[in-house]
A and B are shown apart, each in its own frame.
Chain A
Amino acid sequence: MAEEANKQEYWRWPESTWINPDIDWKKGKIITAGVDVGSVSSQAVIMVDGELFAYGNTRTGSDSPDSARKALSIAFGETDLKVEHIDYCIGTGYGRVNVPMAQRTITEIACHARGANFMYGPEVRTVMDMGGQDCKAINCDDRGKVLNFMMNDKCAAGTGRGMEVFADLISVPVWEIGSRSFEIEKEPPMISSTCVVFAKTEVVGLLEQGMPDNEIMAAYCSAMAHRIMELLNRLGVKEKFVITGGIAKNDGVVRRLEKELGISTAEKAWHKPEYSAYPFETQIAGALGAALFSYALLDRGKAKSVRKA
């Protein structure tokens, strides 16, 4: 649909890919992969001997297996790496049962905790991940093991979709909303409707009343931050508190959430000092966790390599 194509401009985070210049995969012993097929975006992460080698982040199409293949293929990039070189691959995410090259699946809850632990370090205790169609809150221990969790994928409010609908309504791309929500004179009251559909009507009313666009963005980010805060407080938030997924890139929500919780999110930087120059892509946490589980299962002898080449 032409409408769908236009919508994409406003509400999907751009695709990305990266390959570690410091690793030659041909010199590595064990190559593992994690593929996270979400409802809106898909990621693939390749690790060589437990170190991050490459990742790909793409939009999920109408076909989950194709999305999995695409994510992996853009992760492979210009290298000669192929599926046959992978020792073990784990699928995760909403479309995990449809990752054709995976040897097993693990829930995204477990993978996100593990991935966040690797990215941010063993001090992480609470991970909040907001994907395209869900929101998860996870408490974990210093090894990234899940201690408790809560997931909402029933209600669009407090999910990436909630922000997307809004971005589409006011015709502003999601990546601009965060910063623009702070270019205001004063912080407005939050949108009062919790339901995205009713919130849309409320926003239209505010637009008609002449509220400046940036203020409306602030009101919406505020409402979303409040919803997330309620969800998180139900579970209990402990520092270090980190956010993964697309929403981590929306400062408009993140800063207001920190304020509501009275807890700051950890700095978006790799825990391992040798990774400091590498890009810190919050959307790969799930796939990264899956790739790490692959490595750990092989290492502990709980899985066998399927490498063919």
Chain B
Amino acid sequence: MEAFYGFKDGSGDWFVILDTDKCDGCGQCAEVCPANIFEIGEDEYDPFSEETVAKVKDEERKKIRYSCAPCQPGYGETPPPCLTACEPGAISHSEGWKVLYGRI
């Protein structure tokens, strides 16, 4: 299940995309994120599932554009720490940061 956490407004698409099918609930993303946007808990979108998965905290969703910006997702010299920390590759970002702040 792909969860798009974030928002779209006049300035662009700002989403952190979490694939709960790939996520194994290891919690590394929550450890390494400098903005502390992740938490680990039960899968809220499948009431019958017993798995623990990562999600973006509710209070972080609306500010995600600013929280993720320092890690330069999509255009930085190194990928954001959450991507590097996630072995199953369950995390990705939308294009917003790259489009608005990335240098061609």
Contacts and interface: CB of A to CB of B under 8 A. Distances in A.
Q: Is there any pair of Cβ atoms, one from A and one from B, under 8 angstroms apart in the complex?
A: yes
A1 B7 CA distance: 31
Q: Which of A148, A158, A194, A293 has the most B CB atoms < 10 Å from its CB?
A: A148
A246 to B, nearest CB: 20
Interface string A136-158: 00000000011111111111011
A146 B46 contact: yes
Contacts, number: 67
B45 A150 contact: no
A129 to B, nearest CB: 14
Nearest to A138: B45
Interface residues of B, number: 19
B8 interface: yes
B62 interface: yes
A297 interface: yes
B1 interface: yes
A230 B47 contact: no
B44 A149 contact: no
Contact of A146 (B10, B15, B45, B61): B45
Contacts of B13: 234
A157 B10 contact: yes
A178 B7 CA distance: 26
Interface string A192-218: 011100100000000000000000000
Contact of A110 (B2, B15, B47): B47
Interface in B19-63: 44-48, 61-62
A235 interface: yes
Nearest to B64: A154
Contacts of B2: 147-149
Nearest to A149: B3
A75 to B, nearest CB: 22
Contacts of B44: 106-107, 109-110
A108 to B, nearest CB: 10
B4 A154 contact: no
A194 B61 contact: no
B62 A195 contact: no
A293 B62 CA distance: 28
A225 B102 CA distance: 29
A140 B52 CA distance: 20
A195 B12 CA distance: 11
Contact of B8 (A148, A149, A231): A231
Contacts of B7: 152-155
A109 B46 CA distance: 10
B4 A146 contact: no
22 contacts: A107-B44, A109-B44, A110-B44, A110-B46, A146-B46, A148-B2, A148-B3, A148-B4, A149-B3, A150-B4, A153-B61, A154-B6, A155-B8, A157-B9, A157-B10, A193-B10, A194-B9, A195-B10, A234-B4, A234-B15, A234-B94, A293-B47
